[in-house]
Structure formats: structure tokens, C-alpha cells
Structure 1
Amino acid sequence: TIYHKTEYRERRNHFAYFACSETVAGFDTQREDFLGPYGSFAAPQVVKAGQAHNSVAHGWQPIGSHQIKVTLLPGESKRILFLLGYQENAVEEKFDPADSQTINKKHVRPILSDYLQFATVDRAFAELNAYWDDLLGRYAVQSPDEHTNRMVNIWNAYQCMITFNMSRSASYYESGIGRGMGFRDSAQDLLGFVHMVPERARERIIDLASTQLSSGGAYHQYQTLTKRGNNDVGSGFNDDPLWLVLCVSAYVKETGDWEILDERVPYENMVGSEMPLYEHLQRSINYTLKRIGPHGLPLIGRADWNDCLNLNCFSDTPGQSFQTTTNKDGITAESVFIGGLFVLAGKEMAGLAARREGSKAQNYLREAERMEKTVLEAGWDGQWFRRAYDDLGQPVGSQECQEGKIFIEPQGMCVMAGIGHADGKAKQALDAVAQYLATEHGIVLLEPAFSHYYLNLGEISSYPPGYKENGSVFCHTNPWIMIAEAKEGRAEKALDYYLRINPSAREAISEVHRCEPYVYAQTIAGKAAPSFGEAKNSWLTGTAAWNYVAITQWILGIRAELNGLCVEPVLPESWSGFQAQRVFRGVRYDISVTRQGKGNSVAMRVEGKAVAGCIVPLPAAGTKSVRVDVVLS
């Protein structure tokens, strides 16, 4: 067994171990000896020579390698176990003997003995399979589309769990303790995993709210181990607090756990500052209302959802952070996007308040209506919603602009919030998306891409045209358009956009996509880029949660509501229906959807009895399963 004990003798009381079920012929722990001069892991010198050096690392960059000699006859196979593990010792039991510098291995030896047995390993893998079968089985679908089935039933749900665990804090692209877990990121990630692990979603909500500022603002990032906000980045991203409202609402809808609103949660993790979570939500709403700009829209602060739209930065000095450099007072630049987000959050807050405060829920609806009116007056550009107003009070994302005339974010968020639904502006905005932003590889973030650096816009214009925030298919925002299209009843468009960035569907063009065909990437190079269609930055992206929400809750139409499970599919005419299984508040719902006409009007029967509307009433206590049949016409 190889033991790795960096810093063990000083400050740490944990170590790693690497073991094998076979008798080893040699080993190496010194990287340079293993790789050889100018060697690489693609062709290590030890592997080419067929002989280990038995090297012992004393610093630098250690590795772990076991050499095993195996002879196999034609058609013969042999199982070999490799065990990689981590062990902690009590401080008083670090060494054995106690006055030596030798690791105390007495607690790890039984583990090694047990897990180098095939029966133990087989049992452990069976338990792991059962764990994932249970999680992934909480929402399963059998639809006419193989790509939908593959992503919903396995890979999209799995990616949602990965983003829950890591947010954006650890990957090949984002690394180090300087970043931490994003407040906005983690709140959005929760939307995709809350139905699988609601108890852990509750913990995440409390962690997030505990880092909130007493002003209602939020640290943009926090560290998972200390549960403290990241001072290096700070706050001032003015959309952050509103995402807390959305994720708490999603949790209460999923679980019916109204008691969480009474949970006493501190501000900035300061002892003595504890207040009910519900008050945290109230302060989130008030944070926006206290930061209103000249047009009546929310002030953008350092940035909103798009961290690279820095309207108060004005940086012309190399090395400055676009996110933390502020050269303007921040009392002019406004965000239409936050306006749309506020309307959506205000309506969700009203739903919670109706039970908590009764008639006072109307206050939140009135504020949402007031903001909706402002967005339509100051945020409408004639064919689409503007993106923002800069520090000079000039519109961003307008026909008046030479570049960056139209952005995806406000079109998705405003329509999701219901803005423009009554007067047709919602459909008009979505038509503009189809005309100017939609491509065969997905919907680009803006058009035309910026061809040079704009001091008043910040980092977004620093990227090459067609990449990242400057006109790529920023996949995180595409589901907002899918949901918006579904809310407007345009099923063909919603599913079409879903399949354009669906990793499984894009496997057929892997030579272009150049990314894993089973997980979402953050970005796909846009039409202004030389590598149009090439994906980058997979795994840790909010794309996972939002695409899961788009397909499961709005296209398939099965979503949690405060008063029950809603089944309201918005399906393309070519679909004859689908079957689904959904675990909701401990009850298994077996759902059958059948098309008998061209539309998506719902006729529902629950356990054979007709039910008006699209909400399945909550069953009696003790009910294990519910049968739901839906006919679309």
C-alpha cells in the first residue's frame, strides 16, 4: 500500500492511500522517476521499460503507481482491484508509535482488508447503483424522442447533482479557493436537484441565506467549509438576492415544508443576528426596491446575471478585475433583466406571502405590476426588450446601438415573468430571437457581436466576437427561451430550441461540437466565431439545471406547485404523448399523456375520476401511488 502524507507531520491529521489486490512487482511514487526525462503520462518511461524504479517521493510532485505482472491465456480474464482512499486520525492518534513520525495505520488496515475483497467491492457497487437508481428514478420519462429520454432519465439529472456539489468552484476551468460557491449559481442549481435530494436542498438554502448581508444584498460567492462570504469579490451584483426568493419558492413547492420560512438564519453568519428565513426573503425584495435608477428600473451594480456586463467599471488598466473594479458611483446604470427577474420573484414571493401574511401578499403583486409597467415603458425597444441603460443613460441592447443591438437574457426573463403576454409583446420579442439570435447550434447571447472594446460595457466586449459572453451560444440562457416559448404555447419552437443544444442530439455532429455528448457545456462558439458550433467548459454550468427545468417542467409540463403537482404539457403536434413517473412529496405519480387533437388543452383524470384544471390534488396521508391520465386536444 502506498501512503501519501503531505504535511501530515505538521498541521494535518489525514492521509491518502492507494492499494491493490495483487502482489506488486514494483512501485513508484516519484513523478520524475515514473515519467522519465521529458516523459509524459501518455508514455511514461517506467511503462515503456516494463520495470518500476521503486522510487520514494520526498517532496515535489508525488504520484502513486503499482506494477503488476499478469499472464493471460487467449480468452482469459482476471479481475484486479485498485483502492484509492482517504483516512483521518484523531489528533492524539496521529503516529504509531506515539513518539515517532510513522503514520498510525490501525484504523485503515481493516478497511484495506475488507475492500480488497471482491465480495465487498461487488456489494459496494450494488449499493452505489441502488443509490443512483433511486435518485434518477424520482423523475423518469418514456417519450417519442430518444435524446429527451437519455438526458432526462440519466445524464441531465446526474449533471444537476454534480453542479449541486461543486457549483462552479472546482473544475479544469474554474479553480482555487478564491472563487468558492456562487450565491446566484447555487440558487439556480437548486432548481434542478431539489426533487432528488430535498433535505440537502434545505441545507443549501440555509447556507446561502446565512451569508446574506443585513441590507438584503449578498456576497457573490461563499466558501463551503467556512460558510463565509468571499470578501475578495464582495457584493454589489444586484440580481443575486432575488435568486434566493426563487429557490426557496421552488423548495416549498416541492416539499410543502412551510416551516423553513420560520427557520432562524443569521446574516453574514454573525451570532445574534438570526432572523426568520422569511425576513431574509423580504429583505431580498426590498434590496431591489431601494436601488431604483432614473428610468424606474433596478440599478445593475457591478453586474447582473451576466457578470461580464460591467456598466460601472470603466477599466482601462491591465490586470484590473472587471467584477471588482468600480469607477462610477452606480446610481445611473440600470438593468432591464433585473426588472424582469424582480417581476418573476415578486410573483413567487406573493405565493409564499399569501399563506404567511394573507392580504399583504397583494403588496408584492402590486410591486411586480409596477415593475412590469416600467419594463414595458422603459425597457421595450419596439421589437424586443432592451438589455440595460449604461452610466450615460444610453440604452444597451437597442436598435440605436451599432453593435449588441439585441440580447437574449431580457427576452427570456421578461417573457418567463409574464411581461408582454397580454399585449403580444412577448411573442414579438420571441420572434426577434428567432430572427436575429437563433442559429443551428443554439441561440447566441447577443447580436451583432462586439468587434472592439467598449469602455462603458466592460468585459463583455473584451472577448473575441462569437466567444463566451460576446455572442456565443451561452447555453445557460437558452432554456429561458424554451420556457418562454412553452409559456406562450409555442411547443414546436420550445422543443426545437431544446434539441439544438441537447448533448445527445449533438453527438451526430461530434466533429463540430468537440465536447462530451452527455453533459451540457457552458458555451458553444457563436456564428461570429471561426469555430462556430464548438462547445467549451462542460460539466460545471447552470445550463444543467435550467435545461432540466425547461424540459421536465415546461415542455413535459410536470412541475411542483404550492397546492399540488401540475401536469400541463406543451408538446409538439408530432408527439402522440408520453409516460412518466414522478415522486412528489413521498408519493409516486404514474402519469400517462395521450394526444387526441392538435392542441395542448388538458383533460385530466386522477385515479379514474375527472379533475378540473391541471393540478393533481394532494392525496390523503399514507397514499403510496397516484395514477394520472391526461388527454391533450
Structure 2
Amino acid sequence: MKIETYNRPEWKLDDEGFHLFTPQRVRPWYNYLSNGEGGLKISHLGDGYSTTLKEPRIVVSNYDFWTPLKGRFVYITDGGCVWNPSYHPSGTALDTYHCIHSPWATRWISEKNGIQVEQTVFLPREGTLEVLLVTVHNRSQKNRCLYVTAVQEFLLYNSFGVDPVYYSWFTDTTWDPERTILWLKKNVGAQVVGVYHTGTAPSSWQGSLKRLIGEGTPGIPQEIQTPPLSGSMSGGDPYVGAFQWVMELVPGESKTVAVVSGLAPLTKNSMVGGSFLTEVSSLLSPDFLQKINHLGTPQGAQEELALVRSLWQRRLFRNWYGVTGSGLFSSWLKTFFGTQVYQQSTGMVRSTFRGFRDVAQDVMGLCRFEPEKARSLLVDLCSHQYLSGRCVRQWNTEGGAPDERDFRDLPFWIPVALATYERICQDPSIWEELAPYLDSPQPETLRHHAIRGITYALKYGEHGLVLMGAGDWNDALSGPGPQGGSTFLNMFAYWALSLLETSPGAQRGETELYHRYSLSLKEHKERLYEGVLRYWNGSWFDRAVVGSDSPTGAAPGTIVGTTNREGGDNRIFLLPQAWFTISGMAERNPEIARQALTSMLRELETEVGLLKCKPGYTAWDPAAGNLSSLSPGMAENFAVYNHAAAFAVYALFKAGMTDDALRIFRKILPLYKDWRKTRAEPYVLVNFYNGGYYPERAGEGGIPWLTGTVNWVALCLWDYLLPLGLSVEEG
């Protein structure tokens, strides 16, 4: 594939964000924008979609998950040439291309045949709207007459799971010439109304995607090639908002237009009654109409953009980063590190699904940025626990049955998250917050929730390990079964109990509560430690042992991840080698702790990073279960799973192995990798890098944005890198 670099570097990262100078096409590189009420996912090619963030959610604009053909596009029709500043969907070669993903906006500054177009998309500080700003500048030496068209396809259903043929039969549009608004209506179920407005009257408009495309293609619609737009209502066709302006520009002249689009908050249902246009004033609040009128003007949009930029800079540009220098790493800290924390914990990255351990770790990353939001997440987390202490694995914020699988690491995340919040925010009162249970509306303190959870999960097998239930942190390790055991669980439980011992907020009411639940921290910690030592094989810690009820039929007593044992698979897993140190067990046996970390580095470190296990599984292994079904090199099977690698970095820092910690830390960061190999965004952390079982795939990145890695990177920053004044910059 030819990459057009336009005689500039391919990309750079500075305090404004990520700058891309080539419209690479290996896959879309996304930015996430949100304001707490609405969210927008948008790529460097202009494709993406928007949604509301409060339930019930509404997907405002449509999206194509396979090709970059649906998004927020600006077309320039210049004689017989049609092009986009975002390169797609026309794919017309540009003279220059420049995309800037910032925490507050995505912007393009591109040029073709002497015409430069600056296109900016952002979300205002409040509401379920987005704003498009387009400035066209004539840099040539002659007068120019252009057609400038803004296009956005709408959906207005609560998910993408609608029938691709019939969904539009229940939709329609209404053109409001007095207000220069195209109203888009979904009339089945609860009525939803979208708005597409500009303060600069267009020369033509379109409401029907079918009419817009005509005999053209989705990339270059017919009405874009041969203006003007025909001004058709959608009338059951897929609906689109499209405005077109005729711009006549003398040399050096610029003109700017703005479009505001999104969801209109109705004060009542308009499906009953008279004409929609005659009822608009009563259907929508005067404040809303005033707001879109303001944002639909270039001046109003530019003023709001400045305020949004200032808001995000206050959130992200923290004095914590003063010791990190002025290179790539420093710019990443000021932009996409914090942005990824925010967008994953409070934005649209997680969609409507919330994993118990995921939210707990989001708290650990978010609490230094937004203590109140992190506090709210903690209360919500604990409300997804039963009186028995059992926790649900995952829930949907829009309702429905939660994932009830009984992963036994889940309860331990409550004291871990609480203690981390208390330590970072210096606020022991968090333990006194109240939360109900799934099966009881009567609230109890979060301290009660923590102790109920620990009491429930601390169940041991004859093998000396905490029973796994449905599993532990590694969801795919399904072979050991409910009666199986996990060395990681023993270590993780030991850490949770240690935090209960040392966190001031946890100690209030300790005697009465622990007596009520017959919970002796000292006795349990001793039992956990002794259980782990049974699985030290002389070189590293085994990973797990199969119980008597393996769902895959594995033989009871089979060891997962061992060596130097009869029938051992000579396989090493990262987790227990790191967690022996993180848990605090290392203080009781520093020699074994150091040897475990040394084995981890010797056996698992590659050029790409730290593998999660080695060797990878290439055939079904009933002792490992679903883990062995993953394609080797992917996710948790012989891959550099960055979440686990971040555990390792934290352990290495804690052990004083600072040089090793910094080296592995750099390998997690996308900033220092070649995007041609990773094929992934250089500005956000990814879930994993392919381990290279198939050499041609070595180092390819998988699942950007959505990863607990960012929260453990945050802990490495808060606890080691920043306090010690360390830098990961080269040189």
C-alpha cells in the first residue's frame, strides 16, 4: 500500500494532541469526545457515530462498522473534482492532509488545487449536540467558485441492532426554512427527533440518503458531483442531514459556516396533534432553540470551542507532570493519557456494559483526576453486589439480566479500589459511603460491602488455594472449574486483606465487623501465603490447579503453568510472578520474589513487550479451557497483554528493579512503536500486541482505548514515576 506523506513526518504528538500527516488506511484511528451527556466516536477519516450517554441511550447518527462511509463529512466540489478534507469517503488524493485528534475536538486542515479547508468537529460543554465548523480559504491566485457540502446520516434508534431495510420506514424529515433546520423524526415507539441546523442559509439541502447518492456511489454521491441538492424529504428512505453552500472566493479570501446537529430534547410527544412545524415552539424549550441558533453561527461555534478547549486543558494539564520533561511522553500525559482515563470511565468507550473489576480499576485511574466521579463509580460498583457478598461479573446500564458468573476475584476488588481511593485522595470517609445491594434496598457502608465480599470469596480447596468459582482475572482460564484453585487469587486476596489492615478508613469499626463475620485477617493471610508456596516449582509460580468439577473434563489435580513436575507443561504465566511482589508476600521471602521476577523477564520478555504466557497454546487443552482456544498470539494466549504487563511494571518498581520497570513500561506505550507494524493508534494504549506465533503478525495492536492498562499505568505514575522524578524519554 502506498502511503502519501506529503513531504512531512507521518505524525507527531504535542500539547494540542495527535497530528497525522498521512491518511493511512490500515484501519480507522479513532478519537472519543464526550461531555457527560453525549459522546462521539470519530476517526482520522471522518467516519464515526454519536450517542447519548444517559439511559435510555439513543444512537444519534448511523455508522458502518466495516467501511469508513458513514460519519461527518465535508465535500468540496471544484469543477469536476470532488474531495474531502478528511480524505474519505471520496478517497480523492490531496495535496496536503493534516488531522489533529485533541481531547476536545478532531480537526482537519487539508488542501487541494489551491483550496485549503479546515474542518473541526466537537461537542459543546453540555447537551446531546455536536458542532461542525468549516472554513474554506482560497490560497490560489484566481477567483474560485465552489460547492461546499456537509453530510451526516442519522439513526435515532437505541442501538445499531435495527433491521437495515425496514428501520427507515418509520422515519421522516421536515424542512424548516424559517429556522434553517432539518428536523429528523423516528416515529416508532417513543418519538425521537434529531436536529440539523446552520445559521448560514444553505443554497440547497437534502433529507434523503437515497436521493443524495442517486446514480453515484456512497463515497461520491451523485448530488455532490452534480449540484445542487434536490431538497427531498426522506419519506421512509434512510435519512440524512445535508447542507450545501455556493462559495465564491477571491484570492486570499476565507469563508466559514457552522452546523449544529444532534438530539432535540422534546417536552412532549408530537405524534399526536397537528403539524410538526406549528408545534415546534411548544415541543422544545426556548433555551434549546436559542442554544442551537448560537452554535449554528461561526462566531457562536468558535466561542464554544474555545470554552471546551479550556475545560479539557484544565482537566488534563496538571502540575503533576512537571518532572517528566518536554518530549513525547510529556505531551501524551497532557493529552491522551488523561483522555483515555476519562473516556473509558465516564465516556462512551465502554458503551452500556460495565464489568465489575473494570469499574473498580477505572476508579483507581480516575480518582486523582475527578475524586467525586470516582466516588460515584465506587457506590455504583458496590450496588452490584448481593448480600451474600457475591458480585456480578457485568451489568448493562440500560437494564436486562446481568452476567451472573461467579468470578472469585471480583469481591476483592472492592477493598482494593476503596483503599486506593483513600490513599490517593487522602479521604478515609469513602469507607463510610452507603450503597444498597442487588437483593436488598437497605444500604450499608462500603466497608460492610468489602467485608461481606471477602467473607464470601475466601473459600479454600484441599489444594490450598482460593476456589476459582467461574474463574479469576483471566476470564478465559476456564478449565480449572469452580473447585479449582488459582495462585493469583491467593496473592490478590492477600493484598486485599493487607489493605484492610493498613487503610485507616477500613479500620473504623474493625473489631465488631470482623467478629460478626468471623474474619481473622492474620490467619487468612498465613493460609494464603502457605497455599502459594506449595506451587513454587523452583523456577516460577504455577498458575492454577484443576478441581474435581472441571467443566472441560480436565483431570483433577492437573497443574496449569508449571515446570520440573511430572507431567508439567513447562509453561510460565506472567500473573503470579508479578503478584507475589505486588501482594506483599515478597516481604516474607524476598529471594523467591526476585527469582520469580527474574524468570518472568527471562522467559517472557520480547522486543514487543512481556508475553502473558509462554509457550502459547496451539491446540485444545482442557486444563486451560477457553484460553487454549484463542488463536496463538491473540489476547491472552501468547500475546503481550498490556494490562498484565502493567501489573509486571508495578511489581518491578515495587521490587526496586527500576531499570527493568522503565524498559517494560516503554514497551507498553504506543508512542515508541512503529505504527506500520502495530497498525494501531500511536496515541492511546491498546489491549494487547500480537505475540508473533505467526511471525507476520508480531506486534500488531488489538483493541485500542478499551483496556484496564491505562489505570495501572496511572498507578505506576502516581506511586513511582512521578514521585521518583523518573522519565521514560530516550536520551
TM over 0.5, shorter chain: yes
How many residues matched? 527
Work out whether 1:55 is the aligned partner of 2:212.
Answer: no
| Distance (Å, rounded) in 2 between the aligned partners of 1:258 and 1:463 | 42
In structure 1, what is the Cα distance between the partners aligned to 2:202 and 2:569? 64
The equivalent residue for 1:246 is 416
- Return the offset for 1:403: 5.3
Tell me how far apart the structure 2 counterparts of residues 156 and 571 of structure 1 sit (CA, whole Å). 15
After the TM superposition, which residues 562-581 of structure 1 pair with which residues of structure 2 at under 5 Å, given as runs?
A: 568=724
| 1:210 lines up with 2:383 in the alignment | yes
CA contact (8 A) 1:187 1:244 kept: yes
State the partner residue of 2:494: 343
- Paired amino acid for 2:525: A
Q: Alpha-carbon deviation of 1:37?
A: 5.7
Query: Which amino acid counterpart does residue 552 of structure 1 have in structure 2?
Result: W
Percent identity over the alignment?
25
Task: Pick from 354, 363, 378 the counterpart of residue 181 of structure 1.
Answer: 354
The Cα RMSD (Å) is 2.7
Instruction: Flag the 1:205–1:86 CA change in 2: closer, same or farther, 3 A.
Output: same
Q: Deviations over 1:397-437 (max 9, x none)?
A: 11256757111122222221122343311211111121111
> 1:494 offset after TM fit, Å?
0.7
2:684 maps to: 519
The structural deviation recorded for 1:59 is 3.7
The answer as to whether partners of 2:386 and 2:439 remain within 8 angstroms in 1 is no
The whole-number CA distance in structure 2 between the counterparts of 1:144 and 1:255 is 25
Q: Distance in 1 between matches of 2:338 and 2:687?
A: 16
Instruction: Name the structure 2 match of 1:295.
Output: 463
Q: Aligned partners of 2:729 and 2:183: how far apart in 1? A: 61
2:560 aligns with one of 383, 390, 396: 396
Q: Give 1:358 deviation, angstroms.
A: 5.8
The question of 1:275 aligning with 2:444 is answered yes
Please give the residue correspondences for 1:132-171 in structure 2 after superposition, counting only pairs within 5 Å: 132-138=312-318, 139-144=320-325, 146-166=327-347, 169-170=350-351
Letter in 2 for 1:516: E
User: How far does residue 310 in structure 1 lie from its aligned partner after superposition?
Assistant: 0.8
The structure 1 residue matched to 2:540, chosen from 370, 384, 398, is 384
Residue 545 of structure 1: aligned partner:
711
SS of the aligned residue for 1:492 comes to: helix
Residue 410, structure 1, aligned to residue 576, structure 2: yes
Q: Does 1:261 align with 2:420?
A: no
Higher relative CO (CA 8 A, sep ≥ 6), structure 1 or 2? 1
Superposition deviation, residue 36 in structure 1: 4.2
Q: Which of these residues, 350, 356, 361, is aligned with residue 508 of structure 2?
A: 356
2:262 and 2:349 map into 1 onto residues whose CA distance is: 25
Give 1:551 shift.
3.0
* Partners of 2:340 and 2:705 within 8 A in 1: yes
Moved more, 124-133 or 280-289: 124-133
Q: Distance in 2 between matches of 1:454 and 1:405?
A: 13
Superposed CA deviations along residues 76-96 of structure 1, whole A, max 9, x for unmatched, are 3222212123221223xx339
Q: Specify whether residues 379 and 148 from structure 1 end up closer, same or farther in structure 2 by C-alpha distance, changes over 3 A only.
A: farther
Q: Is 1:125 aligned to residue 305 of structure 2?
A: yes
User: Does structure 2 retain, via aligned residues, the 8 Å contact 1:167–1:181?
Assistant: no
- Indicate conservation of the 8 Å contact 2:395/2:402, yes or no: no
CA distance in 1, matches of 2:598, 2:367: 33
1:29 matched to 2:185: no
Deviations 1:218-244 (Å, cap 9, x if unpaired)? 111122345xxx635213011111112
Three-state SS of the structure 1 residue aligned to 2:447 is: helix
Q: Which among 421, 429, 435 is matched to residue 596 of structure 2?
A: 429
Tell me how far 1:184 sits from its aligned partner: 0.7
Query: Residue 274 of structure 1 aligns to a residue in which SS?
Result: strand
Q: Which amino acid aligns with 2:205?
A: F
Query: Match of 1:63, SS?
Result: strand
Separation in structure 1 between the aligned mates of residue 335 and residue 590 of structure 2, nearest angstrom: 40
C-alpha distance in 2, partners of 1:168/1:573?
Answer: 28
CA offsets 1:144-173 (integer angstroms, 9 cap, x no match): 472331232221111010110258633xxx
Paired with 2:195 and 2:570, the residues of 1 have a C-alpha distance of 53
Q: 1:574 to 1:544 in 2, by over 3 A?
A: closer
Residues 99, 19 of structure 1: CA spacing in aligned structure 2 closer, same or farther, 3 A cutoff?
closer
Quote how far apart the aligned CAs of 1:388 are.
0.8
Provide the rounded CA distance (Å) in 2 between the counterparts of 1:488 and 1:34. 63
Q: Which residue of 1 aligns with 2:550?
A: none
Q: CA deviation at 1:496?
A: 0.6
User: Secondary structure, in 3 states, of the residue corresponding to 2:593?
Assistant: helix
Residue in 1 that maps onto 2:195: 17
Instruction: Identify the residue that residue 172 of structure 2 maps to in structure 1.
Output: none
Determine the C-alpha separation between the residues in 1 that align with 2:387 and 2:271: 50
570 and 415 in structure 1: CA distance in 2 versus 1, 3 angstrom threshold: farther
User: Which one-letter code corresponds to 2:270 in the other structure?
Assistant: F
Match of 1:461 among 614, 623, 628: 628
Counterparts in 2 of 1:83 and 1:354: CA distance versus 1, 3 Å: closer
Unaligned runs of 5+ in 1: 171-176, 313-327, 558-567, 576-633
Q: CA deviation at 1:11?
A: 1.7
Q: TM-score, normalised by structure 1?
A: 0.77
CA distance, structure 1, for counterparts of residue 236 and residue 636 of structure 2: 41
1:234 and 2:404 are equivalent in the alignment: yes
* Higher strand proportion: 2
For residues 283 and 52 of structure 1, what CA distance do their matches in structure 2 show? 64
Deviations 1:104-124 (A, max 9, x none): 354232222222233432332
- Which residue identity does 1:104 align to in structure 2? V
Cα distance between partner residues in 2 of 1:311 and 1:213 = 26
Alpha-carbon spacing, 1:62–1:372, altered in 2? closer, same or farther (3 Å):
farther
Distance of 2:423 and 2:372 partners within structure 1: 14
Query: Which runs of 5 or more structure 2 residues have no equivalent in the other structure?
Result: 1-180, 548-555
Q: Relative to structure 1, is the Cα distance of residues 410 and 44 closer, same or farther in structure 2, using a 3 angstrom cutoff?
A: farther
Mapping of 1:39-54 within 5 angstroms?
39-40=217-218, 42-54=219-231
CA separation of 1:22 and 1:572: change in aligned 2, threshold 3 A: closer
Report the counterpart of residue 487 of structure 1 in structure 2: 654
**Residue equivalent to 1:371:** 528
Could you tell me how far apart the structure 2 residues matched to 1:572 and 1:140 are?
Answer: 13
Residues 54-85 of structure 1: CA deviation (Å, up to 9, x unaligned)? 23223463332222222333333222212123
Other structure's SS at 1:78 match:
strand
Which amino acid counterpart does residue 397 of structure 1 have in structure 2?
Answer: G
Give the C-alpha shift of residue 525 in structure 1.
0.6
- Cα distance, 1:202 vs structure 2: 0.9
Cα separation, partners in 2 of 1:258 and 1:232, compared to 1, 3 Å: closer
1:263–1:381 distance in 2 versus 1, CA, 3 Å: same
Contact map agreement 1:181 1:221 (CA 8 A) in 2: yes
> 1:479 touches 1:498 (CA, 8 Å); kept in 2?
yes
Aligned partners of 1:572 and 1:137: how far apart in 2? 19
Q: List aligned pairs for 1:181-200, cutoff 5 A.
A: 181-200=354-373
Return 364-373 or 354-363, whichever deviates more: 354-363
Moved more, 355-364 or 435-444: 355-364
Aligned to 2:241, the other structure's residue is in SS state: strand
